[in-house]
């Protein structure tokens, strides 16, 4: 390539040989990563609860404690992982986390005791996989995009519902045909084969490391617009700001609400007499809704305040919780799941946009690495609490009511959280 051609490519911010801004390659790999994370004992664990408890004679609470252990492990690992992402980028970290988590998923095929399940989930949490999308996606995307951050985040976070659409029905099919133990082995091997190589080949820390600038608008535009005009906060500055703590409280309540619903709705539907295959299909339907919503909400968040968009997500989750209370047939099965798909994904994209827009891109990994453990610390109690409510009362219904209250309180807190102002001395 001649010097003139190379300079033209740099000015256009293109990836070599593609004519496309390299940031979109980062987005593409993170979509694949978050989709695969669903199958690595992520959201698809919901499909495994019924066959594993039946075969192993466990209580449902075992899965609640396992989920909580994973979330609490993220509390320990989050600050360090966030610091690593800011300093070194996600390339090696995502590859290592993906391969080690895949090995742990294979080990699930051999568990016989409840403590083994808890230990495996805790180990995946220490690798950051309990909230893979929040830790490994938000900070890198925020570094590669500013003007188009909403759309890029929406596309990248669509990987999670895409994974649900694939792995929920696939998990049910594999459990029915080859059993849950063999299913875990196959998912684990697939995760290692896909995540490791792709991460090492494509992921990079930030555009400046490649002589590029965010959004791929060209160097002249970036200089004219002042790419550095986005105000970035350090972790120390953020935690001294009241808005940070309002977000932490609001997202803790939001996390409690969706955590109550996310995996236990599956056994709840089955207990209400609905066919497991139909339930898996309905879950996949909510994932398709979430994929479409993700990109729409991402673009919408570039135009209106993210905190307003998040309220729409809360409304979707409240629709889901209400439907769960009264569900008896196919119609409300789909209403509940579509409400969840719309609500969770809308809230998820808006949440990640709020953190990036409020505190900037330079230290976002550290800030999210601190905030995420705090929001998960109490939010994750939803898993064992929901399981205990079910085991004690014989029904999940009281848990859905508690989730609804938490979501309403979350909407009140987050709607009041305006972007913070940084005062220069």
Q: What is the pLDDT of residues 226-258, one digit of tens each?
A: 444 578 899 899 999 999 999 999 999 999 999
For the chain, the farthest-separated pair of C-alpha atoms sits apart, in whole angstroms, at 73
395 forms beta bridges with none
Beta strands in 291-413 (DSSP E): none
Burial letters 158-183, b for 16+ CB under 10 A, else e: bbbbbbbbbbbbbbbebbeeeebeeb
Amino acid 5: pLDDT = 47
Amino acid 229: pLDDT = 58
3-state DSSP call for residue 14? strand
* Assigned token pair, 238: 């953020």
Amino acid 222: pLDDT = 47
Amino acid 300: pLDDT = 80
* CB-based contact 38:32 (threshold 8 Å): no
Q: Would you give the DSSP letter of residue 263? A: T
Nearest-Å Rg of the Cα atoms of the chain is 21
Residue matched to tokens 């994973």: 70
Residue 5: count other Cβ atoms within 10 Å of its Cβ: 9
Task: Collect all residues with Cβ–Cβ distance below 8 Å to 168 and sequence separation of at least 6.
Answer: 43, 44, 46, 47, 280, 283, 284, 287
pTM higher than 0.85: no
CATH number of 14-209+230-415: 1.20.1250.20
Domain limits of the chain? Answer: 14-209+230-415
Closest by CA to 157, choosing from 414, 307, 346, 376, is: 346
Amino acid 296: pLDDT = 84
Residue matched to tokens 């192993």: 56
* CB-based contact 370:82 (threshold 8 Å): yes
* HEC assignment per residue over 101-155: HHHHHHHHHHCCCHHHHHHHHHHHHHCCHHHHHHHHCHHHHHHHCCCCHHHHHHH
* CB-based contact 27:151 (threshold 8 Å): no
Q: Would you give the DSSP letter of residue 227? A: G
* HEC assignment per residue over 60-106: CHHHHHHHHHHHHHHHHHHHHHHHHHHHHCCHHHHHHHHHHHHHHHH
Task: Collect all residues with Cβ–Cβ distance below 8 Å to 154 and sequence separation of at least 6.
Answer: 294, 295, 296, 297, 298, 299, 301, 349
3-state DSSP call for residue 310? helix
**Which residues of the chain, if any, have pLDDT below 50?**
1-3, 5-13, 17, 220, 222-228, 425
Q: What is the pLDDT of residues 15-52, one digit of tens each?
A: 554 568 899 999 999 999 999 999 998 888 888 988 99
Q: Would you give the DSSP letter of residue 361? A: S
Closest by CA to 323, choosing from 273, 274, 286, 269, is: 269
* CB-based contact 169:66 (threshold 8 Å): no
3-state DSSP call for residue 176? helix
User: Phi then psi for 233, rounded to 5 degrees?
Assistant: -105, 145
3-state DSSP call for residue 41? coil
CA atoms of 300 and 298, how far apart (whole Å) = 5
């Amino acid at each position: 390539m001649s010097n003139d051609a190379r300079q033209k490519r740099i000015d256009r911010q293109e990836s070599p040989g593609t004519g496309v801004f390299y940031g979109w390659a980062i987005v593409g790999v993170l979509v694949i990563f978050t989709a695969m994370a669903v199958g690595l004992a992520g959201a698809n664990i919901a499909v495994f609860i019924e066959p594993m408890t039946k075969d192993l004679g466990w209580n449902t609470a075992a899965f609640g404690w396992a989920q909580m252990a994973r979330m609490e492990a993220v509390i320990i690992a989050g600050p360090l992982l966030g610091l690593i992402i800011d300093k070194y980028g996600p390339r090696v970290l995502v590859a290592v986390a993906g391969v080690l988590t895949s090995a742990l998923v294979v080990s699930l095929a051999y568990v016989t005791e409840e403590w083994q399940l808890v230990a495996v989930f805790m180990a995946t949490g220490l690798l950051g996989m309990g909230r893979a999308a929040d830790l490994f996606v938000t900070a890198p995307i925020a570094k590669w995009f500013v003007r188009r951050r909403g759309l890029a985040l929406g596309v990248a976070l669509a990987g999670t519902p895409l994974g649900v659409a694939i792995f929920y029905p696939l998990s049910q099919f594999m459990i029915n045909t080859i059993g849950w133990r063999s299913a875990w082995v196959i998912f684990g091997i697939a995760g290692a084969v896909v995540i490791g190589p792709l991460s090492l080949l494509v992921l990079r820390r930030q555009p400046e490391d490649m002589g590029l600038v965010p959004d791929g608008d060209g160097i002249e535009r970036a200089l004219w617009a002042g790419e550095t005009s986005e105000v970035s906060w350090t972790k120390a500055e953020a935690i001294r700001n009241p808005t940070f703590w309002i977000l932490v409280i609001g997202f803790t309540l939001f996390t409690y609400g969706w955590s109550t619903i996310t995996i236990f709705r599956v056994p709840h539907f089955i207990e209400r007499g609905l066919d497991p295959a139909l339930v898996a299909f309905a879950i996949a339907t909510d994932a398709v809704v979430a994929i479409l919503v993700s990109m729409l909400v991402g673009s919408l968040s570039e135009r209106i305040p993210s905190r307003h968009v998040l309220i729409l997500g809360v409304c979707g989750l409240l629709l889901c919780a209400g439907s769960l209370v009264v569900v008896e047939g196919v119609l409300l099965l789909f209403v509940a799941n579509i409400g969840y798909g719309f609500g969770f994904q809308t809230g998820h994209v808006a949440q990640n946009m709020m953190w990036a827009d409020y505190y900037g891109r330079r230290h976002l990994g550290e800030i999210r690495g601190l905030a995420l453990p705090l929001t998960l610390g109490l939010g994750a109690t939803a898993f064992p609490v929901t399981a205990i409510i079910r085991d004690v009362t014989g029904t999940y219904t009281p848990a859905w009511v508690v989730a609804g209250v938490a979501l309403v309180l979350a909407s009140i807190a987050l709607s009041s959280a305006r972007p913070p102002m940084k005062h220069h001395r």
